Structure 1
Amino acid sequence: MSMVGDIQRNTEVKEPASLKDGAGNGAVKLEKKARYPYGAVFFLLTSTVGQSYSGIGLQAVLELYFTRFLFVCLTQADQLGTAAVNVYIALYQICALSAGFLADRILGNFLTQVLSTLLTTIGICLLSFSTWQYTVSPPGCCVANSNNKSVYLSGSEYSGSFNWSSNCSELDKVTILNQIDLNISPTLNMVLSIIGLTFFSVGYGHINAIQSVLVADQFTEEQTKSKERSFSWYYWCCNIGALVGESGMPVLRQSVGFIIAWITILGTTSSSAILFFSGGYLYFKKKPERLKCACSKKPSSNETNPLLNKEQRTTSQYLKTRLKELLPFVGVFTPLIVFWAIFYQQNSTWILQGTMMNCHLGALHVPPDLMPSVNDFLVLFIIPVLDYIVYPHLEKTMGVKIRPLHKLVAGMMSAALSFLLSGLLQLYLVKLPQGQDCLGDISIAWQLPQIVLISFAEVLVAVTGLEFAYSQAPPDFRNVITSFWFISQALGTLLNAGLAQIPGLTLRDEFFMYTGLMALVTALFVAVNWRFKYRDPS
């Protein structure tokens, strides 16, 4: 479908009742009434929920898939599995760079997402096919053979008559009997699985990096407030999918096995693709601005502005001018690498802290590794509270518009306070008398205040970062700048892994170190960016 202009896509134009005189005195003014693009936003956000469910849900069970299934017959399966998960995460995060370049310079946002969606679908199909050949069970759980057709199970090929051990579940028996006639090389299975995961990771990484830009592009420049809030609703939908994926996929894996989990992801990915394609005729599709190298042409003396003379500029001149515009983003995004490194500690050190606490809330047992899911749940409430209550109230009472950098600083301060609370809690835990059972005294519910603060920090930083990258980037570099935002998260993941390797630190030392580090980075962030000049959207 051909691209339509801003006025055509969601604006009504009304002719004025009277015009100026025929002498040309005065210009005719058109009344423009922008309409909310309900259809386009609906299709984009609902497909976002499905993509987020698929990407985060797969990640939730991926380490067990590697260690208990794909690499089970290899030595050091646990180490290989952990490394493979990190490669998967790093791959889809680093794909943000190519996603931004493809969307802004070659294919355009919509076509980039179309190809990426096809890639994720092909990837999960390959993964499902390879997993369909085998059953995942603990070594020695089940032994089966029929008419010399042996079953490859848990890294070994068993032979003999049907001989079900006592700890073999009925589900294991049914699955093995269903697979008894299949025979495929374990090496081929591993190759197909790795290719499928690579395709899925690359496709998901490209979609994740640029979809928020496509949502915001559906609004005109006059719809400033709606455009700003589109990032909040985009992130809200991402968290819906992530929450369901993180909590539901492990249950599926444990109840019915990996194959059903992968088929569920395949169904969700396919449904998201159908929704995305169905709304295609409603989307405003911005054309990419391809670089045109005119190295053989020299601009005339009155053509000195490379931005105004794109046909006769050289590629190097254009990039040099653009780099000057991109430099301010370095001062904003670089300090936030530390924020993301500390933010991800809730999935490691906070869980370790929880193991030292009473995990029973009355009759309810709350395992420590479930507490990070509380963060995802809280984010769903914090986003609308901030957008529709807190921000409007503060702007009305203070009379000052709350800028993106204000929100980023508030988020970083909230993260520092959350780790200060976790440090104080850990200080109390380690000061308990020797021999005293702390599990009977301190409830894991005492982690809730720090989780609430880190949830506020996530919304203030993550949502605002997407909004900032879009609104302050040059229009033809919005996908690229947004991809840089995701790269800061990827670097934060790497820094998080590095911080975990510092020797000799107790949990108490780590929490206070993170508090001081976050406070220091916040101060540097303010010092570097306090004179930041915002781009006029018009």
Structure 2
Amino acid sequence: KWKAKLCGTNYPLSIGFIVVNEFCERFSYYGMKALLTLYFIHYLHWDKNLSTAVYHAFSSLCYFTPVLGALIADSWLGKFWTITYLSILYVIGHVVKSVGAIPDVGDSTVHTVLSMLGLILIAFGTGGIKPCVAAFGGDQFEEEHTEERRKFFSIFYMSINAGSVLSTVITPILRGDVQCFGGDCYALAFGVPAALMVVADPHPKSPPEGNVMLRMFRCVGFAIGNRSKNSKHNSKREHWLDWAEEKYPKHLIQEIKMVMRVLVLYIPLPMFWALFEQQGSRWTLQATRMNMDLGGFVLKPDQMQMLNALLILVFIPIFDLGVYPLIGLCRIKLTPLRKMATGMIIAALAFGAATVVELNVIKTVVAPPLAKESLLQVVNLADRDVKVSIQGQEDIFPHPIKPYEDPPEYKKLMLKDQNQNLSVSIGSISECVETFSQQEAYSLVLYPATSHIYCILVRFINTRNEDLNITVGNVEFFVPANFGMSTGKAVERQQYTNVICRSSSEDYSIDLGLLDFGASYTVILRGVSANEQAIQVMEDVQANNINIAWQIPQYVLITAGEVMFSITGLEFSYSQAPASMKSVLQAGWLMTVAFGNVIVLIVAEGAGLQQWTEFLLFGGLLVAVCIIFSIMAYFYNYVNPDQLGKDNDDEEHKDLKKDNPEMMYMTAFEAPKPTKM
């Protein structure tokens, strides 16, 4: 069958359309997904564990639905119409997700429902077309062009990551730098990927290939039932699937045997994806607690995922043109399964690096209070040293607190209930009762009034006798007079050397210096004279001093592991599948990603481990699974891809099969001599 070629190559012209369309679709998917974890935490106000669990539940659904896509394409609509209809569903999901991010649309329940509905539609859209696209691309090559087909999967993978690079740069900028509805513009950031998905044109038409997956399930079910029914008899067969010969043709049974051999090999693979998929959840959350300043260029936490896709574009040619040929010169047989096992080990090392980073990060951040705990610090604005004690909390503040002293780190209060009233004694002068709620942080501010010292739980402080309006960047603060307190607000990280303060009598500017990542500040405004203003900046929570550059090694390692594991596995899945079952095996490959996300979901919700311990656990589990996979791979016999391209649907051949099925399939499906791993 003649196919138009890309100029001067053996690549069919349709490959160009497939690669471009895949770029647009992946831009749409990864652009939306990059924002999800922060959207759950900052917009829907979920906690980190719930956000991680829902993120991976969504990712898992995206990789379960390829089975449905393969069924629809093979038995009903064909790849073209499957991609077309599910792409429409995909766009609708993006639109619903974007509408759910508009604050004026209903209450928090409506936002949650729309967000979840949008994610479900996106999962069915993107997941449904996944097995069709990769398999259809491989179908464009003639049997003799196996090397071109192998390189196609690298090009195909590069288009995926080119879309990912641009989307993970652009969509966080749309989220954070474009302000709408009084805050981060999630609605716009989710809407742009929807527009890109509209641009992605359908692929060339292909007819349905028949109920391949359904026939496979029915054949397997019949074989199991027939074997069970005849278990009391002494008759034996070479393979348990041979029990289906009474009803199904031998060629179908032989094809299912091939697919089953590969599917069994897939069983350990979800553990790799359990690690890989955490770039968008746990690793992004780790980035939020780090200093995002890269030599003057300030990143956003959800932009760091860009590094994986960017490195993929660099590593694919390096591995194809440099690493693999060099290994070949050393006379080392680097088979696909050996590449995949090596990729697993490298991914485990990435989580070892992530563990080291996490151990250093937790030294620099205030651990959030747990259930029946709250955090407390004391700011002393009185004109004397003050000894503070809390009812039932021995030695929380063992030493007197000096006036205007930068407060020590937050101290942990233990509560008997979710909310508890505690008596706060301030030396022998005064005592007050304050309500503390679990999992909250408080500043106890002491200031003089007549002959007593009072305490209140607040933030920004104005000791002057005039109300002040303060503008920090584009954020407005109102601070009442006479030890009035403003509410705490978030501002952008930068140097604030000219902060405008307005009172009823005058306007003046103050210098706050650098307000850094992750820090919390209390600014005390003290009027020394009419023409002289004094301020004191107290750092309640220290800034993040572990730079985001320390995440680079773990991204380099996880990307190198991905190149060896994922690209190889994608091509291996195609090459080892019979012509009629390539979508089935592609769906099986994608299912390993789904189960990997399920593993993370279970651990995130059920284990309750510290983050560094969780990273270490995942790395150790992957090493153990890699050993099991290596043993299984040692006994796997490769099928020659050239033998899998035979056309068995020819009517003349069908007649020959009926007459002499043994003769027809010894050549087409007999496995070659064993090639270990």
Q: TM-score normalized by structure 2?
A: 0.56
Q: Which amino acid aligns with 2:583?
A: N
| Alignment CA distance shift 1:259-1:357 (3 Å) | closer
Structure 2 residue aligned with 1:270: 198
Hey, what's the Cα distance between the residues in 1 that align with 2:299 and 2:282? 17
In structure 1, which of residues 288, 299, 306 is the aligned counterpart of residue 209 of structure 2? 288
Hey, what's the Cα distance between the residues in 2 that align with 1:197 and 1:425? 32
Aligned counterparts, 1:78-477, within 5 A = 88-124=58-94, 131=99, 136-137=102-103, 155=107, 197-254=119-176, 255=178, 257-261=185-189, 263-273=191-201, 276=202, 280=204, 285=206, 288-290=209-211, 314=247, 321-351=254-284, 353-354=286-287, 357-366=290-299, 368-395=301-328, 397-399=329-331, 402-426=334-358, 442-477=546-581
| Alignment CA distance shift 1:438-1:385 (3 Å) | farther
Deviations 1:355-377 (A, max 9, x none): 66554334344455543322222
Hey, what's the Cα distance between the residues in 1 that align with 2:10 and 2:141? 7
Structure 1 residue 482: Cα displacement:
0.7
Hey, what's the Cα distance between the residues in 1 that align with 2:607 and 2:195? 45
1:500 aligns with 2:494: no
1:55 aligns with 2:29: yes
Structure 1 residue 515: Cα displacement:
2.7
Hey, what's the Cα distance between the residues in 2 that align with 1:511 and 1:84? 19
Hey, what's the Cα distance between the residues in 1 that align with 2:42 and 2:353? 37
Matched residue SS, 1:533:
coil
Hey, what's the Cα distance between the residues in 1 that align with 2:346 and 2:199? 38
| Alignment CA distance shift 1:340-1:262 (3 Å) | closer
Q: Which amino acid aligns with 2:195?
A: G
- Of stretches 82-91 and 480-489 in structure 1, the one that deviates more from structure 2 is 82-91
- Asked if the contact 1:358–1:438 (Cα under 8 Å) also holds between the matched residues in 2, the reply is no
- Asked if the contact 1:47–1:272 (Cα under 8 Å) also holds between the matched residues in 2, the reply is yes
Deviations 1:368-391 (A, max 9, x none): 554332222211111121122222
Matched residue SS, 1:9:
coil
Deviations 1:420-456 (A, max 9, x none): 3333455566789x99999787543233222211110
Give me the identity figure in percent: 29
| Alignment CA distance shift 1:518-1:35 (3 Å) | same
Higher relative contact order (CA 8 A, sep 6+): 1
Hey, what's the Cα distance between the residues in 2 that align with 1:347 and 1:66? 12
Deviations 1:489-516 (A, max 9, x none): 0110010122224546334433332332
Deviations 1:72-99 (A, max 9, x none): 9xxx799998776555433322111112
For the aligned residues, what is the CA RMSD? 4.1
In structure 2, which of residues 601, 617, 638 is the aligned counterpart of residue 513 of structure 1? 617
| Alignment CA distance shift 1:82-1:451 (3 Å) | closer
| Alignment CA distance shift 1:253-1:80 (3 Å) | same
Structure 1 residue 410: Cα displacement:
1.2
Hey, what's the Cα distance between the residues in 2 that align with 1:260 and 1:368? 18
In structure 2, which of residues 628, 632, 639 is the aligned counterpart of residue 524 of structure 1? 628
Deviations 1:296-319 (A, max 9, x none): xxxxxxxxxxxxxxxx97359777
- Asked if the contact 1:429–1:438 (Cα under 8 Å) also holds between the matched residues in 2, the reply is no
Count of aligned positions: 436
Structure 1 residue 338: Cα displacement:
0.8
Q: Which amino acid aligns with 1:208?
A: K
Structure 1 residue 251: Cα displacement:
2.6
| Alignment CA distance shift 1:117-1:511 (3 Å) | closer
Structure 2 residue aligned with 1:478: 582
Structure 1 residue aligned with 2:595: 491
| Alignment CA distance shift 1:415-1:404 (3 Å) | same
Q: Which amino acid aligns with 2:354?
A: S
Structure 1 residue 68: Cα displacement:
7.8
Hey, what's the Cα distance between the residues in 1 that align with 2:117 and 2:78? 26
| Alignment CA distance shift 1:252-1:420 (3 Å) | closer
Hey, what's the Cα distance between the residues in 2 that align with 1:204 and 1:455? 23
Q: Unaligned stretches of 5+ in structure 2?
A: 223-244, 367-407, 410-540, 643-677
| Alignment CA distance shift 1:379-1:531 (3 Å) | same
- Asked if the contact 1:116–1:202 (Cα under 8 Å) also holds between the matched residues in 2, the reply is yes
Matched residue SS, 1:248:
helix
Hey, what's the Cα distance between the residues in 2 that align with 1:511 and 1:82? 14
Deviations 1:448-476 (A, max 9, x none): 22221111011211111110110001111
Q: Which amino acid aligns with 2:344?
A: M
1:9 aligns with 2:3: yes
Structure 1 residue 224: Cα displacement:
1.2
Matched residue SS, 1:110:
helix
Q: Which amino acid aligns with 1:54?
A: S
Structure 1 residue 477: Cα displacement:
0.8
| Alignment CA distance shift 1:358-1:198 (3 Å) | closer
- Asked if the contact 1:379–1:459 (Cα under 8 Å) also holds between the matched residues in 2, the reply is yes
Q: Which has the larger radius of gyration?
A: 2
Hey, what's the Cα distance between the residues in 1 that align with 2:41 and 2:286? 25
| Alignment CA distance shift 1:58-1:515 (3 Å) | closer
Structure 1 residue 46: Cα displacement:
0.5
- Asked if the contact 1:10–1:35 (Cα under 8 Å) also holds between the matched residues in 2, the reply is no
Hey, what's the Cα distance between the residues in 1 that align with 2:77 and 2:248? 18
Hey, what's the Cα distance between the residues in 2 that align with 1:86 and 1:415? 18
Deviations 1:130-160 (A, max 9, x none): x3xx9834xxxxxxxxxxxxxx56639xxxx
Structure 2 residue aligned with 1:309: none
Q: Which amino acid aligns with 1:459?
A: V
Hey, what's the Cα distance between the residues in 1 that align with 2:107 and 2:545? 45
- Of stretches 53-62 and 451-460 in structure 1, the one that deviates more from structure 2 is 53-62
Hey, what's the Cα distance between the residues in 1 that align with 2:61 and 2:579? 27
1:535 aligns with 2:639: yes
Hey, what's the Cα distance between the residues in 2 that align with 1:447 and 1:241? 22
- Asked if the contact 2:341–2:630 (Cα under 8 Å) also holds between the matched residues in 1, the reply is yes
| Alignment CA distance shift 1:102-1:535 (3 Å) | farther
Hey, what's the Cα distance between the residues in 1 that align with 2:615 and 2:261? 31
Deviations 1:184-215 (A, max 9, x none): xx97x988776665444312211223311111
| Alignment CA distance shift 1:347-1:120 (3 Å) | closer
- Asked if the contact 2:274–2:597 (Cα under 8 Å) also holds between the matched residues in 1, the reply is yes
Hey, what's the Cα distance between the residues in 1 that align with 2:86 and 2:17? 17
In structure 1, which of residues 39, 45, 60 is the aligned counterpart of residue 13 of structure 2? 39
- Asked if the contact 2:3–2:12 (Cα under 8 Å) also holds between the matched residues in 1, the reply is no
| Alignment CA distance shift 1:82-1:399 (3 Å) | closer
- Asked if the contact 1:331–1:525 (Cα under 8 Å) also holds between the matched residues in 2, the reply is no
Hey, what's the Cα distance between the residues in 1 that align with 2:331 and 2:207? 36
Hey, what's the Cα distance between the residues in 2 that align with 1:58 and 1:120? 12
- Tell me which protein shows more strand as a share of its residues: 2
- Asked if the contact 1:231–1:467 (Cα under 8 Å) also holds between the matched residues in 2, the reply is yes
Hey, what's the Cα distance between the residues in 2 that align with 1:371 and 1:66? 18
Hey, what's the Cα distance between the residues in 1 that align with 2:288 and 2:171? 23
| Alignment CA distance shift 1:63-1:392 (3 Å) | closer
| Alignment CA distance shift 1:402-1:101 (3 Å) | farther
Hey, what's the Cα distance between the residues in 2 that align with 1:258 and 1:351? 17
Hey, what's the Cα distance between the residues in 2 that align with 1:84 and 1:530? 37
Hey, what's the Cα distance between the residues in 2 that align with 1:122 and 1:205? 15
